[in-house]
């Protein structure tokens, strides 16, 4: 079975400070991990993904994520937060071993960047 946990419902950070949004996953095989962002009344926008290779993945809008196999984590990071980064962030996983294409999503973390 596959699952994703986002332990924090809400993250607040001051503008200009680094931000981290946490994600841990559980899959039987090799994980294929994603981060998506959702703005109010909008669909999900793709930020980045990890399949294999370097554990640090760079994505859109200055975001990056660090894959840690031993901790089964895939935390989203940004060196300097912007007010416009305030949104709902979702981590998702696919199990490459099963060949299934559907994504399993976490419950989301609401990021608020305080001016």
Partner 1 sequence: DAGVTQSPTHLIKTRGQQVTLRCSPKSGHDTVSWYQQALGQGPQFIFQYYEEEERQRGNFPDRFSGHQFPNYSSELNVNALLLGDSALYLCASSLRDIFTTTDTQYFGPGTRLTVL
Q: Given the complex with partner 1, which of 34 and 67 has the nearer CB atom?
A: 34
What size, in residues, is the chain? 115
Q: Where along the sequence are the contacts to partner 1 (CB under 8 A)?
A: 4, 32, 34, 36, 41-46, 49, 51, 90, 92, 96, 99-108
User: Which CB atom, from 82 or from 103, has the smaller least distance to partner 1?
Assistant: 103
Choice between 18 and 29, CB closer to partner 1: 29
Closest residue by Cα to residue 62 from 18, 4, 113: 18
Residue 55 backbone phi and psi in degrees, to 5: -75, -20
The CA distance from 106 to 92, in Å, is 6
Q: Are strands 109-114 and 10-14 parallel, antiparallel or unpaired?
A: parallel
- Least CB distance from residue 53 to partner 1, whole Å? 12
Could you tell me the smallest distance in angstroms from the CB atom of residue 69 to partner 1? 18
């Amino acid at each position: 079975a596959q699952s994703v946990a986002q332990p924090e419902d809400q993250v607040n950070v001051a503008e200009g400070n680094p931000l981290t949004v946490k994600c841990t996953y559980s899959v039987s095989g090799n994980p294929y991990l994603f981060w998506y962002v959702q703005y109010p009344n909008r669909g999900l926008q793709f930020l980045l993904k990890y399949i294999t290779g370097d554990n640090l993945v760079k994505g859109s809008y200055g975001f990056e994520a660090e894959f840690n196999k031993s901790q089964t984590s895939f935390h989203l990071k940004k060196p300097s937060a912007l007010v416009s980064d305030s949104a709902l962030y979702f981590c998702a996983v696919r199990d490459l071993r099963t060949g299934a294409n559907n994504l399993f999503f976490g419950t989301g973390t609401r990021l608020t960047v305080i001016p």
